[in-house]
Structure 1
Amino acid sequence: MKNGKLSAGLIYLSANNRQRLIHAVLKKLCIAPSDDDYDDLFQEGCLIFADAFARHPDPVKNERQLMNFAFKRIYWRLLDQLRRINKQTATTVLSLDDDQQSADQVERCLTDDTSQHPFARLEHASFMEILWRACTPNQRRYLFACLWLDYRDSEIAEYYHVSRQAVAGWKRGMITKARQIAARDHFD
């Protein structure tokens, strides 16, 4: 791809307030302007737009098609990037299966509101904290692999070297406890 087309894409983006598209993608991804990564992700979105502009067959005549194409391309590329970042952070920062981690360290990561760990950012962090405490060690393993590692049940079974039926049992038990807690404490 030639630099001329990429440059033309950036110039096209900067004209007529088309940068709103990048802001809309970031909003859909729940990235607020106050987030630390907002400016970096905005710049990344601009570069992805330039690439989409260069790849589109006739970007100037079919602006609506270009904007739809670019929106989807930016959204999926940024989402992939965010998932990679979160997965790397989650797996390198803390492992709940690590015997070297003290229960106190794990507890601080799960309950600290200023923590950078994904559990601390969940909308219903207090619910997750109560659920975490109520779960058995195997159910905690399921929660960890599901929420932090973003694994499906078959991947969880492979990760822990157990059968899928065992993972399904962990999941059923965790869901039952979650429903009991929600009914008891009226979490919605």
Structure 2
Amino acid sequence: MKRGFEYALKNNRLIYGVLAQLNYKVGHPDFEDMFEEARILLAEIYTEYYRKENAKEECGSYMFQKLKWRLLDKLRQKKHKQVEVCFSQLANEDDELPQIEEIIETGDNIEISDALYQLYKRCTDNEKMLLSYYSVGITKTTEIAKLMGKSRMTINRWRKSIQEKYLELNNEK
């Protein structure tokens, strides 16, 4: 790995070139972070290459392309995580609505179990299925959507409907 870092330190131009192709110029706010991440990735790529190939030939174009692909993968993963966080924040913006996990977790008490049963009776078949997924610990919207063969938006709509029905039930008491 030491050899890989030496290569990465000597080949800053290669890193600058890859970052330029990914539209990370010197003035970009994330440039320094991306540059350091690219340097580490280049060291890993170089080490892997020489471990597999045992070649002494120049491999600049290979390193360039491999580094570009690795950085693109990292950026996609980062963006995907940001989108998930954004969706979960949107889903949790309804502060006045209780979270379904909280509703189900409190179901140990007999009174609450009765309220949960009353809520269950008011739900549609799809909402009942959603409640059953939550009750067994499957709480990720994406996972439930795949299991039910529905979109995340539909699952979120049903979840919000359950939350509103729960509030109505509490207001009646």
Greater helix share, structure number = 2
* TM-score, normalisation: structure 1: 0.43
With CA pairs under 8 Å and 6+ residues apart, which has the higher RCO, 1 or 2?
2
Bigger radius of gyration, 1 or 2? Answer: 2
